[in-house]
Structure 1
């Protein structure tokens, strides 16, 4: 009887230890930030841009990592990127804190030039978005609204394109692909040939970006699939449903590469599992032929 009791107690203790370890793993996986480094090579890239780095930040959703987001700022300072690209959902429409978002961006601008496009949550802010928009511009952030700008580096240049989230259009999500196709066609009329980088919040429209011959796309929105399973990937993502095709990482089709950030914050589902928040550091290089 005593031996049976001891076995039961050991089993319960082992279960408690396992549950505690799992809980600590989940907590750590939600408050720590991963620095993901990606090299992108292309024979279309001007040789002068070899070594050009981009810090890609997406889906902050008003989250904070350390006081005043010091964890994020420390990574940015250490990496010292040439530009910082924000690909939408800087704020969360359900619990909006514009001041918190602006405080982070104000410090990020001091590290590197910042370029920003909207996500669906900015579209859902209503009149509050105008406040955010005006303040970002005052800080020197380049807010790209269906337009392109020239990036110059070591005497050469490439094009950086930014599109509004389709939720800003009257057609909304119902005709999102059509909206993006039309928008990119209009922008590309003004863009000369050369290497192009697109900032677009939604990765599920990769076909559109590929068909428009964009060289590099930076996107977010999918939150890494929220819960990630080993060897399978994300479980569920906005506008892609269960087991999304474009949840995180690098995708290449034809001459187009898309990098999808797992993002930093959460929205409806407040917890990530096996899916650490991340800042993606992208280095460009010339593909030698």
Structure 2
């Protein structure tokens, strides 16, 4: 009997070890490189009936320099975004990895100029716009802003830009990151008239808590969709983020306020993903009744 129990225990231990090894390989080698395109179709009365549908491509948390977000990989991401033929492209912060203690395990710091050089190839008729994330706030916000704007990517810090599609005007509004303690919706939406619709984007979805009813849609990143075992995210609450569990990933509609939170591309701290595939977001915003 004792011999039988020992055999069962040994078999169970071997099975557990094999499963752990398989899961480790998958979470390091497979899922971080298994990039999907996540499509959304947002129908909202905040997009006027005479406005044409707007195609938006968005990506967040590139974390270039992390083991699974090398420059060659970002080059392929850029090609995939361009292939979507979006009207406008939004980059929602955390472009690189921090130096020193903030560096992801196994990663390497990549200068802002090298990241911007790769993103320069993004193409959209209405432009490419960016906001900064917490990694830029902690380390090199000025350098990243200068690098992006040098290649034609406008960085929005609590400000908006007026765009036009098929003769109809709308605004893109970008918010400063939550970690800067300066996200300001009033400033970002200042001067926007009542009739013109707004698409807003920010790095941290916590900023959505203070958003008024004006924007037709908000897009954010930061959470990585939980990155590693999303259902355990409550055990790893970021004290900076006011609502990480609530706005972890996906599409949210709160009394007509629309939010999309993307899982991003790269990784932070540990170069692992499990149950949170990296993604490019493709969203079409349209008024009710318009195909």
Q: TM-score, normalised by structure 1?
A: 0.81
How far apart in 1 are the matches of 2:134 and 2:207? 14
Does 2:135 align with 1:135? Answer: no
CA RMSD of aligned residues (A): 3.0
Q: Equivalent residue for 2:60?
A: 58
Q: TM-score, normalised by structure 2?
A: 0.80
Aligned residue for 1:108, secondary structure, equals coil
- Contact 1:36 1:280 survives alignment (8 Å): yes
Q: 1:100 aligns with which of 110, 114, 118?
A: 114
- Contact 2:87 2:124 survives alignment (8 Å): no
The residue correspondences of 1:160-239 to structure 2 (distance < 5 A) are 160-168=172-180, 172=181, 179-180=182-183, 183-193=184-194, 194-209=196-211, 211-229=212-230, 232=231, 234-235=233-234, 236-238=236-238, 239=240
How far apart in 1 are the matches of 2:126 and 2:146? 19
Q: 2:76 aligns with which of 71, 75, 84?
A: 71
Higher fraction of helix: 1
Q: Equivalent residue for 2:34?
A: 32
Cα deviation, residue 75, structure 1? 1.7
How far apart in 1 are the matches of 2:52 and 2:22? 43
Question: Which structure 2 residue ranges, 5 or more long, are not aligned?
Answer: 104-108
Deviations 1:166-188, CA, capped at 9 Å, x for gaps? 434xxx3xxxxxx43xx222343
Q: Matched residue pairs, number? A: 272
- Contact 2:126 2:163 survives alignment (8 Å): no
- Contact 2:71 2:118 survives alignment (8 Å): no
Q: 1:120 to 1:254 in 2, by over 3 A?
A: same
How far apart in 2 are the matches of 1:198 and 1:84? 12
- Contact 1:33 1:278 survives alignment (8 Å): yes
The residue correspondences of 1:36-51 to structure 2 (distance < 5 A) are 36-47=38-49, 49-51=51-53
Q: Equivalent residue for 1:261?
A: 262
Q: Equivalent residue for 2:137?
A: 123
Segment drifting more, 56-65 vs 19-28: 19-28
Deviations 1:121-174, CA, capped at 9 Å, x for gaps? 11112xx43332222112111211221111211111211111222434xxx3xx
